[in-house]
Amino acid sequence: MTTYSAVRTTGIYCRPGCGAKPLAENVRTFELAAAAEAAGYRACLRCRPYRVAGTVPDEAPELVCRAVQLIIAGVLDESGEAALGVRLGLSARHLRRLFHEHLGVTPDQFARSRRAHFARRLLDDSDLSIADIAFGSGFGSLRQFNRAMREIFRASPRELRDRRRRTDRLVADGGLALRLPFTTPYDWEAMSAFLASQAIPGVESVEDGVYRRTISLDGDPGLLEIGPGGPDHLVLHAHLPYWEGVIHVVERAARLVAVEADPDVRVPGAWGPFEVAVQAVVRDQLPPEDAYDVLRKLVEVYGVPVAGLGHGLTHAFPGAEALTGAELVGPLARAVAAGNIMLDGGANAGTLIRFLEAVPGVSPQAARHIVLRLGAHQSWFSEAGR
């Protein structure tokens, strides 16, 4: 995983490979950029650690990893640490203690650092306005945004944009282009081939090494395109109905192609947890060609039409409520729609598998596939007694 070196004498932290050569006795090591910032260090202007894909320490317990997944999904955008604790079945005080012990930050500090780093990338890569960047990064107000950027980067958003390098700006045709950084090695050819093999007709496609898919944001359609960029990043082109909360769109896209995962355990993720669950159940019960036809019909009959996209993209994938009466996946859809099964990453892996296996039509193999695609590690199954 990526580690960060902080220099006591300068108050700056750097990513690996930075040209700075401080004395070893003056260096502290942090496993998270957020932890270095919480300790009072600011990001190096030379190596720009905010542009590196960071991962949670491998030794962090499953509970902390589940909390991180919920934070990345936006749980703290509109609620506090207490609500996050309730979702995980523990007090906010105990949650903060676990975060301090394993990550070196509080949940709020972790969330604020991710928002600020994402905003800094938007300031570099895009021409979005300062206001659009603030709300697109998950900040509740411009005042909150300006304060966080000054505390973390020691400069205002306008000053930070003025510092961007000539090669930073990505030109997008009618959408937002943004880098998705990864830790090498990363095999995009293998990843895109897997996504092509699993593509849901009408919703996803892979052509000439570019993955495309439809999405729905509060009922409004959008389009995502992901393709190769450089030796340390992919490029995402997002065509969205609005920019508010775009941080969560980008983070879901990053999880889908596993750019933030440890290279040793890089499992393709999911854009929509329910979508992956439906796909796993259908593919588990039917031969490949029959599964393809069933998924196509589900999309055509129950999905939301999206016109004019090309590349074979015609619909957004239907939600659980729409599929409660569908053959093969109706029981799963009813369980999800009723809130009896939560696929947001907050449940323990073993518990979620047991709940899924209790649903008619969901085999143990399909349940494990769903949980793996939602971000669980194989080791968590054994920890849960499976």
- Indicate which CATH number applies to the domain containing 34: 3.40.10.10
Question: Hey, which of 10-24, 46-60, 140-154 has the most confident mean pLDDT?
Answer: 140-154
CA distances from 61 to 2, 66, 67, 347, 368 (A): 18, 9, 10, 13, 19
Please tell me the predicted confidence (pLDDT) of residue 380.
53
User: Given pLDDT bands bounded at 50, 70 and 90, which one contains residue 385?
Assistant: very low
Q: How far apart are CA 37 and CA 49, in angstroms?
A: 11
294 and 379, same domain (yes or no)? yes
Residue 21 has pLDDT above 70, yes or no: yes
More confident residue, 50 or 58: 50
337 and 356, same domain (yes or no)? yes
Q: How far apart are CA 310 and CA 290, in angstroms?
A: 24
More confident residue, 197 or 22: 197
What percent of the chain has a predicted confidence (pLDDT) above 70? 96
Please tell me the predicted confidence (pLDDT) of residue 382.
47
State mean pLDDT over 109-114: 95
333 and 377, same domain (yes or no)? yes
Expressed as residue numbers, the domain containing 19 is 4-51
Residue 384 has pLDDT above 70, yes or no: no
225 and 300, same domain (yes or no)? no
| pLDDT tens digits along 316-375 | 999 999 999 999 999 999 999 999 999 988 888 899 999 999 999 999 999 999 999 988
Please tell me the predicted confidence (pLDDT) of residue 267.
87
State mean pLDDT over 286-301: 96
289 and 223, same domain (yes or no)? no
User: Given pLDDT bands bounded at 50, 70 and 90, which one contains residue 165?
Assistant: confident
- Is residue 60 in some structural domain? no
CA distances from 229 to 46, 170, 205, 223 (A): 21, 11, 19, 18
User: Given pLDDT bands bounded at 50, 70 and 90, which one contains residue 1?
Assistant: low
Asked if 38 contacts 105 with a C-beta cutoff of 8 angstroms, the reply is: yes
297 and 257, same domain (yes or no)? no
285 and 258, same domain (yes or no)? no
State mean pLDDT over 30-57: 89
- Of the candidates 78, 165, 178, 66, the residue with the CA atom closest to the CA atom of residue 121: 178
DSSP character string of 262-304: -GGG-----S-HHHHHHHHHHHHHS-HHHHHHHHHHHHHHHSE
- Number of domains comprising the chain: 3
343 and 364, same domain (yes or no)? yes
More confident residue, 120 or 24: 120
Please tell me the predicted confidence (pLDDT) of residue 261.
86
Residue 207 has pLDDT above 50, yes or no: yes
| pLDDT tens digits along 297-327 | 999 999 999 988 889 999 999 999 999 999 9
292 and 251, same domain (yes or no)? no
Residue 247 has pLDDT above 80, yes or no: yes
State mean pLDDT over 37-49: 92
Please tell me the predicted confidence (pLDDT) of residue 174.
66
Please tell me the predicted confidence (pLDDT) of residue 139.
95
Residue 379 has pLDDT above 70, yes or no: no
- Is residue 357 in some structural domain? yes
257 and 281, same domain (yes or no)? no
Residue 386 has pLDDT above 70, yes or no: no
What percent of the chain has a predicted confidence (pLDDT) above 90? 77
Q: How far apart are CA 160 and CA 124, in angstroms?
A: 8
CA distances from 65 to 18, 162, 249, 263, 356 (A): 28, 36, 20, 17, 21
- Is residue 255 in some structural domain? yes
The type of residue at 84 is L
User: Given pLDDT bands bounded at 50, 70 and 90, which one contains residue 52?
Assistant: confident
DSSP label at residue 169: P
- Is residue 356 in some structural domain? yes
- Is residue 135 in some structural domain? no
239 and 319, same domain (yes or no)? no
- Is residue 246 in some structural domain? yes
238 and 314, same domain (yes or no)? no
Computed over every residue of the chain, the mean pLDDT equals 91
- Is residue 98 in some structural domain? no
Rg of the chain over CA atoms, in angstroms?
21
